[in-house]
Amino acid sequence: MNTITAAITAVGAYVPDFVLTNKALESMVDTNDEWITSRTGIKERRILKEEGKGTSFLAIKAAQDLLAKANIDPLEIDLLIMATATPDMPVASTGVYVATEIGALNAFAYDLQAACSSFLFGMSTAAAYIQSGRYKKVLLIGADKMSSIVDYTDRSTCIIFGDGAGAVLFEPNYEGLGLQDEYLRSDGIGRDFLKIDAGGSLLPASLETVTDNKHNIIQDGKTVFKYAVTNMADSSELILKRNNLTNENVDWLVPHQANKRIIDATANRMNLEDSKVLMNIEKYGNTTSATLPLVLNDFEHLFKKGDTIILAAFGGGFTWGSIYLKWAYDKK
């Protein structure tokens, strides 16, 4: 029996129509376009403005885009993994609702939360299910409505985050393509540096927590930046060495879109030329769980069967890692 690897065979994405530009943010907080662009690389971000629509709406749209492009019957999906840091509600699972809404009635589903590393960790999980031989089609969605947890009077966070969703389909491969290796890590030291204080079991919602604005994301920017630069770069360099890869062997770097300076530091550690580093941060900002699949979707037309792709991410917790993937198809 041939060895089973887990390959991405289709991608899809969705971003809301409303564009929040750096210029618009100038009227909201003490900042300006030059300051934001020079420090983050972000020019604009998409925001889901419609009332009554949450992360599930974004995820459903991205999944439907994938299914339509790949001409796949949703009843063929065995499992749906919902990577998100902003579920519709604490209970019930957002992924379960998404699966039902897209017609994946034969799939079981659940949510996976590892902050900005959620999609990367989800890739590992989806691949393991495929490699086990038990399932043939695993749909992994990364989606976040970050605007729901951002304080738009806090310039340290509101300039960074946006809303969006991306999806990939994992299927068995017998040519040695797909996920080749992974290096995933976490460290609870990050708990105090990037978080939402209230709304969980430690500090349940109350009038006081709402009044004190404890339900929005806060971060110690300098500390997070330092850890992100070090760990994303270290994990990417390690995955190369462990697989005897050089910068010449790598076709593309797909990095988490948190900050252009973090991306540049990772690429420099890998000694990669700029043309191999894929970025759309200027259009979307940091969409958390959606950044990696949005990049895969936006640049799908560049990928060739057999291309070597390194994916890297860093998120709150802290969580981080890198995945070595061989692309499995040419876009039709």
| pLDDT tens sequence across 35-55 | 999 999 999 999 999 999 999
Tokens of 140: 């992994």
**Which among 48, 43, 126, 51 is positioned nearest to 83, based on CA atoms?**
126
The answer on 156 and 67 residing in a single domain is: yes
**Which among 82, 89, 70 is positioned nearest to 108, based on CA atoms?**
82
Domain residues for the domain of 244 are 179-327
Q: Which of 22, 231, 259, 286 is catalytic?
A: 286
Please, what is the Cα angle at 316 between 108 and 41, to 5 degrees? Answer: 110
Quickly state the pLDDT bin for 24 (edges 50, 70, 90). very high
Structural domain total, the chain: 2
Report whether pLDDT(2) > 80: no
The answer on 205 and 61 residing in a single domain is: no
Residue 80 in contact with residue 104, Cβ under 8 Å? yes
Quickly state the pLDDT bin for 259 (edges 50, 70, 90). very high
The answer on 167 and 46 residing in a single domain is: yes
Percent of the chain at pLDDT exceeding 90: 98
What's the gap between Cα 177 and its chain centre? 22
The answer on 196 and 131 residing in a single domain is: no
Cα separation, 113 vs 111, whole angstroms: 7
Across 185-210, average pLDDT:
96
DSSP string, 68-128: HHHT--GGG--EEEEE-SS-SSSSS-HHHHHHHHTT-TT-EEEEE-BTBTHHHHHHHHHHH
Report whether pLDDT(211) > 70: yes
Q: Which of 173, 256, 259, 297 is catalytic?
A: 256
Cα separation, 197 vs 199, whole angstroms: 7
Other Cβ atoms less than 10 A from the Cβ of 33: the count is: 16
Q: Which of 116, 158, 173, 297 is catalytic?
A: 116
End-of-domain residue from the set 177, 202, 228: 177
For the segment 299-328, what is each residue's pLDDT rounded down to a tens digit? 999 999 999 999 999 999 999 999 999 999
Report whether pLDDT(1) > 70: no
Cα separation, 147 vs 151, whole angstroms: 8
For the segment 46-90, what is each residue's pLDDT rounded down to a tens digit? 999 999 999 999 999 999 999 999 999 999 999 999 999 999 999
Cα separation, 75 vs 119, whole angstroms: 23
Report whether pLDDT(216) > 80: yes
Q: pLDDT value at position 332?
A: 80
In the numeric block, the tokens 């936006």 are attached to 298
Cα separation, 175 vs 173, whole angstroms: 6
Across 272-292, average pLDDT:
98
158 is catalytic: no
Across 199-207, average pLDDT:
96
Q: Domain of 239: which CATH number?
A: 3.40.47.10
Does residue 332 lie in a domain region?
A: no
Contacts of 265 (CB under 8 A, 6+ apart): 229, 232, 233
Tokens of 298: 């936006």
End-of-domain residue from the set 149, 177, 205: 177
The answer on 212 and 113 residing in a single domain is: no
301 is catalytic: no
The answer on 169 and 23 residing in a single domain is: yes
Across 207-213, average pLDDT:
95
* 241 exposure class (CB count in 10 Å sphere: 0-12, 13-18, 19+): exposed
106 is catalytic: no
Across 96-110, average pLDDT:
98
Amino acid at 139: L
Q: pLDDT value at position 228?
A: 94
DSSP letter (8 states) at residue 217: -
End-of-domain residue from the set 124, 154, 177: 177
The answer on 132 and 194 residing in a single domain is: no
* Inter-CA distances, 154 with 18, 70, 99, 227, Å: 20, 41, 35, 22
Please, what is the Cα angle at 81 between 79 and 166, to 5 degrees? Answer: 120
* 76 exposure class (CB count in 10 Å sphere: 0-12, 13-18, 19+): middle
Report whether pLDDT(254) > 60: yes
Please, what is the Cα angle at 161 between 98 and 254, to 5 degrees? Answer: 75
The answer on 17 and 165 residing in a single domain is: yes
**Which among 278, 181, 309 is positioned nearest to 239, based on CA atoms?**
181
The answer on 13 and 157 residing in a single domain is: yes
Cis check for the bond before 85: say yes or no (omega within 30 of 0).
no
Q: pLDDT value at position 105?
A: 98
